Amino acid sequence: MNERFWMVRVDGAGVPTMKYGDKTEAITEANRLCVKEHKRAYVLETIGFYAPPDPKPIVPVWALCEGDKEVNVEVADVER
């Protein structure tokens, strides 16, 4: 999996959310925003990443109803 991408951050703006797969596109956008906002813009490049371990499955527990009576449902422990 290729995790290399670039983002653009402008001084005083919020957190960058747009990912660019091409460095040239990120530089072009940084230049555009710099001119538009009259603020310094930064091109950020990934140098690595951390990934969480595989999550445990979520097992829903439902209280099922059939007419006026409740049906109890038990769920086994699903630890890996």
Domain annotation covers residue 18: yes
Domain annotation covers residue 30: yes
Domain annotation covers residue 69: no
What is the C-alpha radius of gyration for the chain, rounded to an integer number of angstroms? 24
Domain annotation covers residue 56: no
Bridge partners of 9, per DSSP, are 42
Instruction: Return d(Cα 76, Cα 59) in angstroms, integer.
Output: 9
Residue 2 has pLDDT above 90, yes or no: no
| Number of domains comprising the chain | 1
Domain annotation covers residue 27: yes
Q: Give DSSP secondary structure letters for 9-64.
A: EETTS------BSSHHHHHHHHHHHHHHHTS-EEEEE------PPPPPPP-----E
Domain annotation covers residue 9: yes
pLDDT in tens, 26-68: 999 999 999 999 999 999 999 988 888 887 776 555 545 555 5
Domain annotation covers residue 77: no
Q: What is the pLDDT of residue 52?
A: 83
Domain that holds residue 17: 1-49
Give mean pLDDT, residues 7-28. Answer: 96
Instruction: Return d(Cα 7, Cα 18) in angstroms, integer.
Output: 6
